[in-house]
Structure 1
Amino acid sequence: MKVAPDQPFQIVYSLFEHEYLGFLFESFVVQINDKGNLTYSHQNISAQNAEEFDEGLDAADYELIKTMDQMQQKAVFNHFQKKKMKLDEFFLKVYDKKAGDKILQDEIDRYLEIRRSKVLSLIHGKQLFEMGKDGEPTWKKITISDEKATVLFHFRRNEENTHYFPTIKLKEEKVHFFQNESYLLCKEPAWMVVNDTLFTFEQEVNGNKLKPFFNKKFILIPKNVEETYYRKFVAPLIASFDVYAQGFEIKSEKLLPTPVLSFSELASASQSTGTLFDTPKANTSADVSKILFELSFRYGTYSYKADKLKKVSVSVEKQEDDYIFHRVRRDSTQEKSFIDTLTNSGLPLKSSRSTLSKTNAMSWLNDNLATLREQGFIIDQRDASVKKYFVGSTDFNLEITENIDWFDIKAVIHFGEFEIPFTTIRQYVLNKQSEFKLPNGEYAIIPDNWVTEYSDLFAFSSNGADNITLNKIHVSLVKDLKDGNHAKVAMTRKLEKLLDFDEIEDTPVPAKFKGTLRPYQQAGYNWLSFLNQYGFGGCLADDMGLGKTVQTLALLQGEKEKDTGSTSLLVMPTSLIYNWEMEAGKFAPGLKILNYTGTNRNKNHERFARYDLVITSYGITRIDTDLLKQFYFNYIILDESQAIKNPDSIISKSVRELKSRRKLILSGTPIENSTLDLWSQMSFVNPGLLGTEKFFKTEYQIPIEKRKDEAKMRRLNALIKPFILRREKTQVAKDLPEKVENVHYCDLSAQQREYYDREKNAYRNKILDLIAQDGLQKSQMILLQGLTRLRQIANHPSMVDETYEGDSGKFEDITHMVSNALGKDHKILIFSQFVKHLKIVEQYLQAENIPYAYLDGSVKDRKAEVEKFQNNENIRIFLISLKAGGLGLNLTEADYVFLLDPWWNPAIEAQAVDRAHRIGQTNKVFTYKFIARDTVEEKILKLQQSKLKLAQNLITIEESFVKSLSKEDITNLFD
């Protein structure tokens, strides 16, 4: 019967017992008559229709209704059904008396108990009834007691057994609940209904402790299980509740707590420990081994774990045939204070325990030992008889003094009373072994902070004849130790200036250098001269177009004027030879230059001495290594030094064999793929700066690239900072005209979209199936193939299908913008990484009779194409492929740059724009990046932004970008 919400009504809650699920509640609204009495008109309500009766409901009602909904059998069925079956079938199967699912029954019971407890916590002040057998919701009123009951547990021990029973009082009256239709409504915590009154307890009690006594007057504990029962059941009961006992004694005691922090070593699969007299072997057992800390509180002779903060703990003492229960009132406030002390010092506890690696554990313990003891902690090693660890003070006193060509290291290291040689600690740290045996037999653990703070010092220092030394190239490491108060340092102010670029003194420009250096170029020349003076190598990594060539020529001219007999070697990509010759003729015409290239080159290394500068290519260097290494050069300079980014490549190995007094590298992108690129190039200019390749990978590459370790990134930056000079255009070239960057989004044509979606779906299924079958690693080739194909289709489907006769949305936008720009007399550079794409544009230009210059890898005469574009007013378009035109071109006549497709490496993209936006440009430069909307082009750009934030200049190439993708990333790319 429906209830009218616009007429007086009352919300009521009705209790009934389900065949399988036990006690459940339902919510109803009942119409009220003119006298204010409940009528028989009622209606079940749920969260779905409760708002109809909002006027008569409060927040508690809404919460009650929602919770009761979750308890209904349909809700339980929907929550727990694992297989498709009908509701009746589910309950018959789960609750079958012989073959029922006991585990699932327990899960359902826990689920309902949580909700019963919640309902009962909210029910106060509401109207509660027992439901009649006919479904009448207001059959019998249940009174909800305003007061809570108390319980007293009685134990009566005699020679044969112990009787145990509870008495309950409500409002000072004893509650009789034995065999009188009373029932337990909820177990955790206990709620009972006795004589139609619902109540709970002042001190929460588990209903299972009361349930047996609804049908039993007492429980009998036989003598033979007495002790076990007393310890496991009676003692916790005495701790939590009032107990009346006959036959044994309960003593209440109040004592002060003493915190005891015990530690023990957890067994590991294999452990290897060195002594002071061993040569340590590489071993990570100290990192794998664990130390277990456990906190307990000692009250007199009693000890309690700190896993639960109890008001009272009970210990059982047996004296012959008698028992004494020692009821100790604990100081929970003080105990919590002790726990907070450990947490605040870096040892958070879980269930009174904490586990740390051995090195972390002993470092923490030694760092906090004095404070813990001051606050009353007892430190106890449980397995000290087997292997005792050193616990005490440790000191590392370090002094570093600048010498002529190196730093002298003096270190005094103490573990308690023992002084340990620096070389000993160094060997253990380098071999990843942090544990060793002291002369007194105790085992010492090298503190973690020593490994962190001094790891580079351990790695880069070396044993001299009488002392320990450090190469001066590690000046930034010394400065960091000084700034961190980890060492006393004596270093000249002049050397410190290398770490502060702004303080390097001016060096006069060579007398015969032609031209004027801009202020930042003068600063770069000062820096190069400073490195030269100290015998350091360096990397000039200025942005493209800022004049790395000019700064280097000033250095070379200065070297000639200091020593006319010095010859330097300049190695570069073949495409840059012409540009270097032109620039040298302009700025340093006095340099005598040998162009050592071509198949007919004179292979006589002795004639190098007659020249100031030998210019050659990486290819020639690779071929003529044996000849070139016979000559001792003044400088070896590598332009576009990323050519040696792979340390295992032939060219990397070749240039390392060459001999010179100084080394210099030039690169706008010293990192393209990974930090190992940096190691390869910096190890060429300053051998030893970053350690061995194996050391660098372990200490820097893996932590930075795999674990995103910012501390390692900062340390690496500190090491290389003095030897890398990088300025961006925005910082220094204030006189450059504005560069306006635009992203032009293109919509695929209908035919192109159909083609793209078909290919995308095919590759998506193929790639995801392959990942599921072989894993991500083995799927990268097909992934790269699929992404490349989709990117080409996004440009123009004819790039992958010669039979395609449809149109392309992007191509239409490109030709429209080309036509528009030409109509306003602009000169345009058009870049693509796909030669096929350039050819499509070339066909359009030919059909329209538009003259153009063209450059890809197959063009032999680069110079002619560059000059044609720069000097011929009629040639207003230059088509350039990424690989052929990304380096060494000065195309300042252009004021528009079109990037036809997004590139994996944003730095290379920037280099393309820099062909036009560089020193000498007088016009505002407009760049347009064409992106096909709703394709992998757009999604790749978003992925790059989220994945390439490891370091500001850590840039990726195609293969490494693909390796960084997760399965989720790949799925999103092909969605």
Structure 2
Amino acid sequence: MKYKPHQYQEYATQQILDTNYIALLLDMGLGKTVSTLTAIDLLLNDYFDASRVLVIAPLRVADDTWAREVEKWDHLQHLRISKVLGSAIQRRKALKADADIYVINRENVEWLVGELGTKWDFETVVIDELSSFKNPKSKRFRALRRVRPMMKRLIGLTGTPAPNSLMDLWPQIYLLDQGERLGKTITSFRDRYFVPGERSGHIVYKWHEKKEAEQRIYDAISDIVVSMKADDWLELPERIDRIVQIRLSDKARDLYRKLERDLLLPYQDADVVATTAAVLSNKLLQMASGAVYDEEKGIKLIHDAKLDALEDIIEAAQGKPVMVFYNFKHSLARIQERFPQARILRKGKDGNQDIVDWNNDQIPLLLLHPKSAGHGLNLQESSCQTVVWFDQIWSLEEDQQANARVHRQGQTRRIVVMRLVAEDTMDEEAVIALERKADGQEALMQAVKARIERVRVV
């Protein structure tokens, strides 16, 4: 296929060429992969400013997306890609292959750093989904930090750089500039821009931004961060977000309340640390969806109200495919039991065939987990217009990425995203939290977006 870049794609490619260390906050659907590959091709074959290029990506993206994009576009088909995946033996063989671009999944970054050590020879590194390095304590971040001084270029790609708070930015920006803009350590970053908030003893588990901290952070990173929002560049079909209120029966509500009290009462006179809060909210979200695991890993059924609502939605779709996101295994099992026609997205080659079948309208009901369907899947070619969130989640990043599998460039139909929200349960809190995080995310995107305003009038 002949590549006819949009104006924003040309701009993104040029920014990569002009800036050795750069984060491109490209909204979903803006073609970040082909823009980056075009820049890499120029660096390799025109500017001779790169030799071996490493791409770090989520597993499914590493296995499929980058190679598929090379095959898709005429101007890239000469690029040779080696997938550093599979067993250790397979990965070592792939590293020795004669290629231009080596693609590895992020879970194996620590292995790669250990394998190469001081012989690290990837001067140009692309991190697809830079936000997956937002935890400064993670092994993948610490490993990449060790070899960062040996890189001449680093390109970070993501649509959600601060999915939870501005605290997520420090590790990502550190990989770009080694601490020049936001500080050499996470501690110095916190001291400069945040004040301690909620704590448990001496442990602070929530930090609050200082006055004007947001603007100061944006100003500090503006020269190496470029933001592009899909709404500014693409004329996508309308997306409608709907809350489907799920009313529980008196019996189900009483059971929910009882289990809720049983979980919450032991903590009423004690501080609830973050990990405990996560466990509690997870249990309550399970209950809101209709079932919960007990201490013996058995399943306690609470209600079928969401299954009944999903049945109504499928019927209203009048034969068109419906995509459903679930978060809990027992939700998956209950949906499959109620709807035998449902299919899940499998792994490997089988999963690739599932994508083809879905886009050809051969799967009437596709069940996806947001963690496995978040990146690199193009599912917009089916006639699906209905996306349903059966379970509610806390992660803004997973929510945005999952919805963008259908509502993205190439989509020609209006999309309706429905959230099944049980009334007066933790479901409502999760939806409110996502909306609150989205507001913060939008502030970040808007602040750095100003860097590209001039190109719009060219």
Do these two structures clear the TM 0.5 threshold for a shared fold by scoring above it? yes
Counterpart in the other structure of 1:554: 38
Summarize the Cα distance change of 1:611–1:838 in structure 2 as closer, same or farther, 3 Å threshold: same
Structure 1: distance between partners of 2:349 and 2:330: 19
Summarize the Cα distance change of 1:702–1:836 in structure 2 as closer, same or farther, 3 Å threshold: same
Partner amino acid for 2:8? Y
Secondary structure of residue in 1 paired with 2:216? helix
Contact 2:289 2:391 in 1 (8 A): yes
Deviation (angstroms), 1:915 = 0.5
Q: Can you give the 5+ residue segments of structure 2 that lack an aligned partner in the other structure? A: 198-205, 446-458
Matched, 1:738 2:238: yes
Secondary structure of residue in 2 paired with 1:885? coil
Q: 2:356 aligns with which of 867, 873, 876?
A: 867
Secondary structure of residue in 1 paired with 2:362? coil
Contact 1:572 1:616 in 2 (8 A): yes
Matched, 1:621 2:109: yes
Partner amino acid for 2:59? T
Matched, 1:826 2:320: yes
Contact 1:752 1:793 in 2 (8 A): no
Deviations 1:574-601 (A, max 9, x none): 1112111111211211111111222132
Counterpart in the other structure of 2:92: 603
Q: TM-score, normalised by structure 1?
A: 0.41
Secondary structure of residue in 2 paired with 1:722? coil
Matched, 1:671 2:162: yes
Deviation (angstroms), 1:747 = 0.4
Deviations 1:797-853 (A, max 9, x none): 3665957566422221112212221xx23222100221221221111121xxx2x33
Summarize the Cα distance change of 1:759–1:860 in structure 2 as closer, same or farther, 3 Å threshold: farther
Secondary structure of residue in 1 paired with 2:92? coil
Q: What number of residue pairs does the alignment pair up?
A: 423
Contact 1:672 1:954 in 2 (8 A): no
Counterpart in the other structure of 2:305: 809
Contact 1:592 1:612 in 2 (8 A): yes
Summarize the Cα distance change of 1:676–1:708 in structure 2 as closer, same or farther, 3 Å threshold: closer
Deviations 1:488-530 (A, max 9, x none): xxxxxxxxxxxxxxxxxxxxxxxxx941112221221222222
Structure 1: distance between partners of 2:412 and 2:155: 31
Q: 1:912 aligns with which of 402, 408, 412?
A: 402
Structure 1: distance between partners of 2:252 and 2:175: 49
Deviations 1:171-204 (A, max 9, x none): xxxxxxxxxxxxxxxxxxxxxxxxxxxxxxxxxx
Deviation (angstroms), 1:707 = 4.2
Q: How big is the alpha-carbon RMSD for the aligned residues of Structure 1 and Structure 2?
A: 2.8
Deviation (angstroms), 1:748 = 0.9
Q: Can you give the 5+ residue segments of structure 1 that lack an aligned partner in the other structure? A: 1-512, 956-975
Counterpart in the other structure of 2:218: 717
Summarize the Cα distance change of 1:922–1:799 in structure 2 as closer, same or farther, 3 Å threshold: farther
Structure 1: distance between partners of 2:166 and 2:429: 25
Larger radius of gyration: 1
Deviations 1:599-636 (A, max 9, x none): 1326379846x421111122332112133451433411
Deviations 1:673-705 (A, max 9, x none): 443431111111222232211321211244897
1:255-266 alignment to 2 at 5 Å? none
Partner amino acid for 1:788? N
Counterpart in the other structure of 1:430: none
Summarize the Cα distance change of 1:605–1:747 in structure 2 as closer, same or farther, 3 Å threshold: closer
Summarize the Cα distance change of 1:900–1:784 in structure 2 as closer, same or farther, 3 Å threshold: same
Give the structure with the higher percent helix.
Answer: 2
Deviation (angstroms), 1:549 = 0.8
Counterpart in the other structure of 2:387: 897
Counterpart in the other structure of 2:343: 853
Counterpart in the other structure of 1:749: 249
Matched, 1:541 2:17: no
Counterpart in the other structure of 1:844: 338
Partner amino acid for 2:256? Y
Structure 2: distance between partners of 1:678 and 1:638: 15
Partner amino acid for 1:559? L
Contact 2:57 2:129 in 1 (8 A): yes
Contact 1:560 1:591 in 2 (8 A): no
Give the structure with the higher percent strand.
Answer: 1
Deviation (angstroms), 1:905 = 2.2
Partner amino acid for 1:717? Y
Secondary structure of residue in 2 paired with 1:839? helix
Contact 2:396 2:437 in 1 (8 A): no
Contact 2:321 2:386 in 1 (8 A): yes
Deviation (angstroms), 1:766 = 2.3
Contact 2:71 2:77 in 1 (8 A): yes
Counterpart in the other structure of 2:192: 699
With CA pairs under 8 Å and 6+ residues apart, which has the higher RCO, 1 or 2? 2
Deviation (angstroms), 1:788 = 1.9
Q: 2:177 aligns with which of 673, 686, 690?
A: 686
Secondary structure of residue in 1 paired with 2:212? helix
Summarize the Cα distance change of 1:859–1:813 in structure 2 as closer, same or farther, 3 Å threshold: farther
Secondary structure of residue in 2 paired with 1:926? strand
Summarize the Cα distance change of 1:943–1:656 in structure 2 as closer, same or farther, 3 Å threshold: closer
Partner amino acid for 1:681? Q
Contact 1:703 1:709 in 2 (8 A): no
Deviations 1:879-911 (A, max 9, x none): 001211122211012321111122212332121
Contact 1:748 1:809 in 2 (8 A): yes
Matched, 1:529 2:17: yes
Summarize the Cα distance change of 1:516–1:730 in structure 2 as closer, same or farther, 3 Å threshold: same
1:731-810 alignment to 2 at 5 Å? 731-734=232-235, 736-769=236-269, 771=270, 775-777=271-273, 780-797=274-291, 807-810=303-306
Identity across aligned pairs (percent)? 23
Summarize the Cα distance change of 1:803–1:941 in structure 2 as closer, same or farther, 3 Å threshold: closer
Contact 1:746 1:930 in 2 (8 A): yes
Contact 1:605 1:631 in 2 (8 A): no
